[in-house]
Amino acid sequence: MSVAVVYGSAMGNTEGAANMIASKLGISDVLNIADIDAAKINSYDKLICGTSTWGSGDLQDDWDGFDFSGLSLSGKTVAVFGMGDSESYSDTFCSGMGKLAENLKNAGANLVGEVSTDGYSFEASDAVVNDKFVGLALDNDNQEDQTEARIDAWIDQIRSYFA
């Protein structure tokens, strides 16, 4: 079974989280979306995909420029994570993760790893569906001290899918 962690990151925060998630799950393929195409993503059995949020609730630039129409993920297990700023961008906190999840679902992905909004403080987010985040929300701008614990708890939750 092949698994990759794929991330888009402007300043390195999402990249750091991607590397931490991969290392804790023993995944060696950690790929920057800026460097790969849809065929590369399609070659994996399972994926963990992460994006930060830019603009006002937008995908990180490299994901924003990515051609999702080439993705074919029918029935594949995929988990998403997002990096945002719940204080300065409280109305669009981690909304990019919601957009990423939507694009991956449209490509056929079977999304796993939703997370309770308990412990987060924000006004609104496109990443919340049925009162839960569609994946792991992280905030290194205000709560970096919680990032590793949040990742650990999430990994406990999703490990059986990706081990």
Which residues make up the interface to ligand FMN (CB under 6 A)? 9-15, 52-57, 60, 83-85, 89, 92-95, 140-141
CA–CA separation, 84 vs 82, rounded Å?
7
CB of 111 to ligand FMN, least distance (A): 20
CB of 92 to ligand FMN, least distance (A): 4
CA–CA separation, 160 vs 163, rounded Å?
6
CA–CA separation, 38 vs 32, rounded Å?
12
CB of 15 to ligand FMN, least distance (A): 6
CB of 93 to ligand FMN, least distance (A): 4
Question: Which residue stretches of the chain are H helix?
Answer: 13-25, 38-42, 61-64, 95-106, 147-162
Half-sphere exposure of 158 (CA within 13 A, CB side): 28
